[in-house]
Amino acid sequence: MKDKEKSRGDQLREELCYAKKNGYERMDQAELEAMEAYCTGYKQFLDAGKTERECVDRTIALAEAAGFREYRRGMELKAGDKVYQANRGKAVMLAVMGRKGLEEGANIGAAHIDSPRLDLKQNPLYEADDLAFLKTHYYGGLRKYQWVTIPLELHGVVALKNGQVIRVSVGNGEGDPLFTIDDLLPHLGVEQSRKPLGEAIPAESLNILVGSRPLADDEGSDRVKLSVLELLHRKYGIVEEDFISAELSAVPAFRACDIGFDRSLIGAYGHDDRVCAYACLAALLQLGAPERTAVCMLADKEEIGSEGVTGMKSAAFDTFMEDLCAGQNVSLRACYEKSFCLSADVTAAYDPNFADVYEKRNSALVNYGLGLCKYTGSRGKSGASDASAEVVAYARKVLDEADVVWQMAELGKVDAGGGGTVAMFMAERNIDTLDAGVPVLSMHAPFETVGKLDCYMTFKGAKAIYEAK
């Protein structure tokens, strides 16, 4: 029997209309397997990196295993050479030198490795009614009610006056204790339940329970606190005053895991933005000698506005790039004006359970691939980089040629809220920049969810951008 001929309408629909497709319709068996293998590596990266410092350590370990060397100013580099440089242990930059000179610009993938969390205050430890607690100051935009009654780990460093920096990681190891923040029982929560979500758990009540057993044979009112201090002194050699020069963070004690009967999703703490950071890193590690120099920037402090010496506003990035340029007698500004940056950061996935804050036509859907955001920001695109039409067209071409599944994304309805990324700080350097990233469900929650297909396509997209001529 002969196939029915297409109607004129169907023909036109095919030729003229843009239709988004679920990415699974475009994946063959080999690609499904590559996706699964990639996501296994990603889950390991998540479990090893609960803070930006740990992500830097893990990144350096992976980079060195892939033949990268620590960059030193003045080092002579040729095409295919691979270098990295950490910024104060909290951000890291990596480069694979291209066959073309840096006057032709670099292809940059930039993501951030800090995630929302609860930082300890500088004078955190106290005892109240025979219980010991740590005071916290939340870092990044988080919904406080989500951080009570979940298991927490404690990660970070204590810097001593003698220059020694002591690493702390409690909860990630086999048999480690965990911590938690308590909440009211429903029986007594009548008054609290009437409050708006944003007010029900005040920031100053996010105090972490760390002990309850008093020091033996002592009558003081701080016997529990003293007992905790004694344990800390025995394990780390620190005293209470050392908290003053410490950076300790409470993070959710969740392992990255598959979600769903079909295992198509990953649940974890810190997908924002380690899912894009790992994609940019993994893609860079696979490069040989690309046409243009490829640079991966993993920044700190994005969640609080990219401020500070380790954030994207820091000159550390410019210094690294200028040093690479100096090796080729190229001016930094000549390099920047020809460069391209994929600002790889997560976007909000359309959530049918909260449909009214999204505009579905322009929202990123789970499993529809890498989400390109022409602009982020809030209200009238305030705080957005707003990539030019030409830049978006360039990305469409590069991604299509590499067979990357991608979609357009906008963070929710106009005036429903908004957010920013490092894009504008790259654009301010005179670098053409486009936002793109993985759509996330429950973004900024202690446990966020992403689709494996979108993780893998972000990796493929980053690789295509690095390899672009």
**Helix, strand, or coil (residue 263):** coil
| Footprint on this chain of Mn ion (rule: CB under 5 A) | 272-273, 345
For the bound state, the minimum distance from the C-beta of residue 186 to Mn ion, rounded and expressed in Å, comes to 31
Rounded Cα–Cα distance for residues 4 and 10 (Å): 12
For the bound state, the minimum distance from the C-beta of residue 112 to Mn ion, rounded and expressed in Å, comes to 6
The three-state DSSP-derived secondary structure of 7-29 is: CHHHHHHHHHCCCCCCHHHHCCH
For the bound state, the minimum distance from the C-beta of residue 268 to Mn ion, rounded and expressed in Å, comes to 14
Of 348 and 365, which has the nearer Cβ to Mn ion?
348
Of 273 and 454, which has the nearer Cβ to Mn ion?
273
For the bound state, the minimum distance from the C-beta of residue 358 to Mn ion, rounded and expressed in Å, comes to 18
Sign of the C-alpha dihedral computed for residues 421, 424, 429 and 433 taken in this order = positive
Rounded Cα–Cα distance for residues 228 and 236 (Å): 12
The three-state DSSP-derived secondary structure of 123-137 is: EEEEEECCEEEEEEE
Identify whether the C-beta of residue 84 lies closer than 8 Å to the C-beta of residue 63. yes
Identify whether the C-beta of residue 155 lies closer than 8 Å to the C-beta of residue 169. yes
Of 369 and 418, which has the nearer Cβ to Mn ion?
418
Quickly tell me which residue has 């803070």 as its tokens: 51
DSSP H helices, 286-315, are none
Contacts by 38-42, CB closer than 8 A, 24 or more apart: 38/282, 38/455, 38/456, 38/459, 39/266, 39/452, 39/455, 39/456, 41/278, 41/282, 42/256, 42/266, 42/275, 42/278, 42/282, 42/455
Of 119 and 273, which has the nearer Cβ to Mn ion?
273
Of 228 and 251, which has the nearer Cβ to Mn ion?
251
Rounded Cα–Cα distance for residues 24 and 368 (Å): 8
Of 272 and 322, which has the nearer Cβ to Mn ion?
272
Of 345 and 432, which has the nearer Cβ to Mn ion?
345
For the bound state, the minimum distance from the C-beta of residue 445 to Mn ion, rounded and expressed in Å, comes to 11
For the bound state, the minimum distance from the C-beta of residue 52 to Mn ion, rounded and expressed in Å, comes to 12
Q: Which residue is nearest to Mn ion (CB)?
A: 273
For the bound state, the minimum distance from the C-beta of residue 443 to Mn ion, rounded and expressed in Å, comes to 7
